[in-house]
Amino acid sequence: MYFYAARQPILDRNKKLFAYELLFRDSLDNVFPDIDGDEATSKMIEASQFNMGISEFTGSKPAFINFTQDTLAKNYPEMLAPEEVVIEILETVKPGKKLLAQCKELHQKGYTIALDDYVHQSVWAHFYPFIKIIKVDIKDTSLEDIKQIINAVKDHSHIQLLAEKVETYEEYNQLLQMGFEYFQGFFFAKPEVVKTKSLSPSQMAMAELLYETSKPELDLNSITSVFERDVSLSYKLLRYANSAIFRRRSEISTIKQALVILGSGELKRFLGLMFAVTANPDKPTELIKLAMTRAKFCELIAHEIPSKIDISIAFLTGLLSMIDAILDEDMASVLEKLPLAQEIKDPLLTRKGVMAALIKLVELIEHAEWDKTDIVMDKLKLNKETAVEHYNQALSWADEQTQVTGS
């Protein structure tokens, strides 16, 4: 069984990954209307203990998971280890003696508790000793109310504030100055400042390699010479070719040997990843991981849809769908500088066609807009379970690749 869930990153003050929130389609609360509690419980037990577990899905980072009053009463949180879950109490849960007792008991057992979409009421002060994180939806909370929340918890130094739905760097910087510790939203996946700039020598080398590998026939001598001009890139190529994911029996020691053994498809994949990883080292790792997830998802789905799409094209198009955010530059301006096939550029610029629909699908999954994903999957004639499985596979692959490529 695979979780039908979006995995949204939660970053700390330094834009480093702190945790993920899992937004289930098949969840433990009223998002799961068609099955009873026993079946929901069995699904969670089966998934977390026998198949793809929570920690595997989140790369061993804590998972924020929503719980209602009823699921708390049924002790659902205790099916998961304290170190792998943050118990997120939904805003629909009313503060009262029963909830207070549940929070105290979970706190004593070592669980981290967060209040979701917090709206300040004085009664919540009784819960503060057992609460570690307070989440504030900045779209639904005025600046004055945010200041009231900050003032209410100022004497409880163990409580940390988490801003939800942070969509711009301006919002991130403002909330950072106000004392928020954690940030959730896609601010990191948008261009910080839209500007025009020239590509660095290393980026131009990567662009040259992307151009060379887009030709029908690879010119190994030309590709080898480009690699040999960049020691760092050569090292990463050899490291990638020798990595455990390929399970080589003998070590690869030369550039040309690595190119021959990797082959055209794997080489294109490696170069796409390297371009994303090296394009802007100041960007959060989660942005690169998001781009990698899109790339792998598009590659896997290309096998499934009736419309035939070259898997290398699908991979690179998915990867480059984040290039404007990676380089902090307008998409059209970036693509104008890159010697790429028009079948890659067109979906990213026009947002039309089958490849553009795949990009739209993965964007909707990222944002947990489940009703809209159903519509797109139907149009693409995709099996929903297969699409979900591929998304989960893409997440795991991206986690692995960020380790292999050193990002």
pLDDT digits (tens, 9 = 90+) for 131-179: 999 999 999 999 999 999 999 999 999 999 999 999 999 999 999 999 9
Question: What DSSP designation does 244 have?
Answer: G
Alpha-carbon separation of residue 143 from 27, 90, 155, 170, 183 (angstroms): 32, 22, 20, 14, 16
Find the mean pLDDT for residues 97-124: 94
Structure tokens at 157: 């130094």
Where, residue-wise, is CATH 1.10.3210.10 in the chain?
A: 201-404
Tell me how many helices (H) and strands (E) the chain has: 18, 8
User: What is the C-alpha to C-alpha distance for residues 303 and 6, in angstroms, rounded to an integer?
Assistant: 22
Q: What is the pLDDT of residue 339?
A: 72
Q: Are strands 17-24 and 5-12 parallel, antiparallel or unpaired?
A: antiparallel
Q: What is the pLDDT of residue 93?
A: 86
Closest by CA position to 271, among listed 245, 244, 234: 234
Residue 163 β-bridge partners: 136, 183
Average pLDDT of the chain to the nearest whole number: 82
Residue 147 CA neighbour count, 13 Å, CB half: 4
pLDDT digits (tens, 9 = 90+) for 214-273: 666 778 888 888 888 877 778 888 888 887 666 666 678 788 888 888 887 788 778 777
Where, residue-wise, is CATH 3.20.20.450 in the chain?
A: 5-188
Residue 90 CA neighbour count, 13 Å, CB half: 16
Q: What is the pLDDT of residue 1?
A: 44
Q: What is the pLDDT of residue 45?
A: 40
Give 404's pLDDT tier (boundaries 50, 70, 90).
low
- The residue ranking higher by pLDDT, 227 or 194, is 227
pLDDT digits (tens, 9 = 90+) for 309-343: 888 788 888 988 988 888 888 898 888 877 777 88
Q: What is the pLDDT of residue 353?
A: 92
- The residue ranking higher by pLDDT, 273 or 69, is 69
The highest-level CATH class for domain 201-404 is mainly alpha
Domain 5-188 has CATH 3.20.20.450: yes
Q: Are 3 and 24 in contact (CB under 8 A)?
A: yes
Q: Are strands 63-67 and 133-137 parallel, antiparallel or unpaired?
A: unpaired
Strand, coil or helix: 164:
strand
User: What is the C-alpha to C-alpha distance for residues 163 and 118, in angstroms, rounded to an integer?
Assistant: 10
